[in-house]
Amino acid sequence: MSFGTAVVQLVLVFASVAALFGAIAWWRFRRRGGLSLLPIWAGTVLGLGALGAVRVCMVLPAARRSFAIALGGVYAAFLAITLVPSALALRRRTKRAPTSGIGAAAGSSAAWSLVGILVATAIALTLDVFGIPFLPPIGSH
């Protein structure tokens, strides 16, 4: 798999997660009348971060489990930053267009996640330029 293919897959995964996040949040808003994004946001981030850590743990040998858990934390942090613009767009949508459909909310959330991906990548590049380690070392136990 080439680097470009991996990047496109990562962007598609995050946009799909953001679209699902937007659809669930909008469905709850239309059903209950109030939009509480924090529990949905935290559940999405923690659930998918843990799922990523478990997936990596299944592939790596037992000696590298701490690396897998740390990598799951990095994935969850990246996802958390990616979903912030989507959450802000949904919050704004409740005031400007409260009668819009679930498809429009999901599409908007997926589109705004691209801004979140750019912000998260800029943060990662800034940390890398300043020499701050944010990825776990591969050889650590």
Q: Select the more confidently predicted residue: 141 or 21.
A: 21
Q: Considering only CA atoms, which of 49, 51, 25 is closest in space to residue 39?
A: 25
**pLDDT (0 to 100) of residue 139:** 60
* pTM of the entire predicted model: 0.77
State the greatest distance between any 2 C-alpha atoms of the chain, in Å, as a whole number. Answer: 53
Neighbour count for residue 20 (Cβ, 10 Å):
14
**pLDDT (0 to 100) of residue 138:** 65
Residue-wise pLDDT tens digits, 50-101: 887 777 777 777 667 777 777 778 888 888 898 999 989 988 988 888 888 9
Residue-wise pLDDT tens digits, 18-49: 999 899 889 888 888 777 888 888 888 888 88
Where do the DSSP E strands lie in the chain? none
**pLDDT (0 to 100) of residue 106:** 92
